[in-house]
């Protein structure tokens, strides 16, 4: 927090509060390096990151997953982009490339998978499908700060990937987001787009929006960045500790064999929705807050004008519960939570 104060004082001394100032530029550089990507653009939030990605990719017909946060399909609907859901894999909770209908692949010009809870999608199969059908790939990587795939960053996959840097995410700027592009030309277009479509002479040369991150948000990111390794390592340790304790108690999300968990979330899969509701109530009575990420399955949300049946996502979203996971959590807390969970299941 001291560090944050110092950055804030400097911002007001410079009197340079926004418009790609020194804090945002510095954070952008640090994050690109840290996440091992070439073209990372900071934006005002993770939803704007998606909007910017859609605009730069110029997509119209999108295949996406119903098992995600409302921002994924919501941003498509808001931009009047036509989309179809395709069901998930019951073990990984990610969009299942093998289940995408042939007719949808012919219809689509893009796929928008989500690396759910930071777990890498089947990026190889998705890449093959994209090549075969000439599709753009945009990953909603909102949960993937620090997620690894094989020996590198998960964020390198797709034509672009979006991050959320919201306060509830692993690393944040209070509000914030980023788009990671594979190619420089897309990155340059996005830079213009988030600044009203203006070129470097401030002439609007394309239709744009305002999706800039402010210096105050950048300062928050810079202050937190000094602790990013501790944050990530602690969460990864908690994740492993949880997993060890939960073997035989509940089912867990199956991680991609080449993926390394970042400890962003601690989802567990219960036997039924009735059990989930009972467990959630029981834990809540003991002051343990859990969240139903992601419920309901978004194919059932009528405002998206979709009423398709997605049996696997419908089922999984009715049974997944996210246990507490945050930096201040300790192993002793995890012991208490896991004991309470075990008792709640036994007493059901």
Ligand X SMILES: *Cc1c(COP(=O)(O)O)cnc(C)c1O
Residue 282 φ/ψ region, left for φ over 0, alpha for ψ in the -120 to 50 degree band, beta for the rest: alpha
CA 108 vs CA 65, 137, 139: distances in Å: 14, 11, 15
Binding residue (CB under 6 A) for ligand X from 65, 68, 290, 299: 68
Q: How far is the CB of 49 from ligand X (least distance, A)?
A: 7
Residue 94 vs 195, nearer CB to ligand X: 94
The whole-angstrom separation of Cα 94 and Cα 119 is 8
| x/- track of binding to ligand X for residues 271-310 (CB under 6 A) | ----------------------------------------
Tokens of 167: 């306060």
Residue 266 vs 344, nearer CB to ligand X: 266
| Segment near ligand X (CB under 6 A); pick from 68-76, 145-153, 235-243, 331-339 | 68-76
Residue 12 vs 78, nearer CB to ligand X: 78
The whole-angstrom separation of Cα 161 and Cα 49 is 9
Residue 47 vs 313, nearer CB to ligand X: 47
Question: Does residue 62 contact residue 113 with C-beta atoms inside 8 Å?
Answer: no
| x/- track of binding to ligand X for residues 116-155 (CB under 6 A) | ------------------------x-xx------------
In angstroms, how far is the first alpha carbon of the chain from the final one? 44
Residue 71 binds to ligand X (criterion: CB under 6 A): yes
Local structure of 94: helix, strand or coil: coil
Residue 138 vs 344, nearer CB to ligand X: 138
Tokens of 187: 């990155």
The whole-angstrom separation of Cα 27 and Cα 220 is 10
Tokens of 346: 């036994």
The whole-angstrom separation of Cα 68 and Cα 298 is 7
The whole-angstrom separation of Cα 87 and Cα 66 is 7
Helix (H) or strand (E) holding 39: strand 39-43
Question: Cis omega before residue 296 (within 30°)?
Answer: yes
Q: How far is the CB of 10 from ligand X (least distance, A)?
A: 26
Residue 290 vs 338, nearer CB to ligand X: 290
| Segment near ligand X (CB under 6 A); pick from 13-21, 26-34, 40-48, 264-272 | 40-48
| Segment near ligand X (CB under 6 A); pick from 8-16, 42-50, 194-202, 275-283 | 42-50
Question: What is the contact surface with ligand X in residues (CB under 6 A)?
Answer: 45-47, 68-69, 71-72, 114, 140, 142-143, 164, 166, 177
């Amino acid at each position: 927090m001291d560090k944050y104060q110092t950055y804030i004082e400097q911002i007001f001394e410079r009197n340079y509060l926004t418009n790609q100032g020194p804090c945002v530029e510095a954070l952008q550089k640090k994050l690109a390096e840290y996440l091992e990507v070439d073209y990372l653009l900071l934006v005002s939030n993770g939803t704007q990151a998606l909007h910017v990605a859609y605009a730069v990719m110029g997509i119209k017909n999108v295949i996406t997953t119903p098992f995600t946060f409302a921002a994924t399909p919501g941003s498509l609907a808001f931009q009047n982009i036509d989309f179809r859901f395709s069901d998930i894999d019951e073990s990984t909770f990610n969009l299942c490339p093998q289940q995408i209908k042939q007719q949808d692949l012919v219809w689509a010009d893009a796929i928008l998978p989500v690396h759910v809870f930071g777990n890498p999608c089947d990026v190889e199969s998705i890449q093959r499908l994209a090549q075969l059908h000439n599709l753009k790939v945009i990953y909603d990587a909102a949960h993937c700060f620090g997620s690894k795939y094989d020996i590198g960053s998960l964020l390198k996959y797709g034509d672009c990937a979006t991050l959320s840097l919201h306060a509830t995410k692993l690393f944040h700027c209070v509000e914030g987001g980023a788009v990671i592009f594979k190619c420089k030309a897309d990155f340059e277009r996005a830079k213009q787009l988030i600044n009203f479509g203006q070129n470097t002479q401030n002439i609007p040369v394309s239709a744009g929006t305002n999706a800039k991150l402010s210096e105050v948000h950048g300062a928050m990111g810079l202050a937190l960045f000094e602790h990013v390794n501790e944050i990530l390592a602690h969460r990864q340790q908690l994740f492993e500790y949880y997993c060890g304790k939960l073997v035989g108690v509940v089912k867990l999300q199956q991680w991609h064999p080449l993926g390394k968990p970042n400890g962003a979330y601690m989802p567990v899969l219960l036997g039924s929705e009735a059990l989930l509701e009972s467990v959630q109530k029981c834990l809540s009575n003991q002051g343990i807050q859990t969240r139903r990420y992601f419920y309901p399955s978004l194919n059932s949300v009528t405002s998206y004008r979709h009423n398709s049946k997605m049996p696997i996502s419908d089922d999984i979203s009715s049974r997944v519960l996210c246990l507490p996971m945050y930096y201040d959590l300790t192993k002793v807390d995890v012991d208490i939570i896991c004991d309470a969970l075990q008792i709640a299941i036994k007493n059901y």
